[in-house]
Amino acid sequence: MNEPTIDVGDVALHAPSGETWLVGAVVDDRLYWCGWPLGGNAALSDCALKRKATPEQRDRLLRELADGDGGERPRVLARMRLEAAR
C-alpha cells in the first residue's frame, strides 16, 4: 500500500534533523518548509507525513503563501495552484 502523498499544509517530520515542519511546497523530490530560513528545503525522501491538512487548511495556507513573504518558491507555486484551481 502506498503512503499518503505529502502536500502543502501537511505537517512532516524531517528524519535527519528530527524537526517537524509545516509544508509550504513540494516540487519533484524536494520539500519546502514554511518558516526560517525562507526557501529552505530538504529531500522529500527524508520526510514522513505526521499530519494531513484538511482541504480547508490547505486552501487557507495556499492563499497566505500567495499573498505573503514565506519565500519566493512557495509564493509562486501557491499562486500557480490557486490559478489552476479556478
In tens, the pLDDT along 45-56 reads 999 999 999 999
Strand order in the sheet with 11-14: 41-43, 30-33, 19-27, 11-14, 47-51
Whether the CA torsion 56, 57, 60, 61 is positive or negative: it is: negative
Can you give the pLDDT at residue 35?
84
Can you give the pLDDT at residue 36?
83
Checking if the pLDDT of 61 tops 90, the result is yes
Q: What does the radius of gyration of the chain's CA atoms come to, in whole angstroms?
A: 12
For residues 2 and 62, which has the higher predicted lDDT (pLDDT)? 62
Angle at 25 between CA 38 and CA 23, to 5 degrees: 80
For residues 5 and 68, which has the higher predicted lDDT (pLDDT)? 5
Checking if the pLDDT of 72 tops 90, the result is no
Read off the pTM: 0.87
Which residue shows C-alpha cell 520539500?
31
Can you give the pLDDT at residue 37?
81
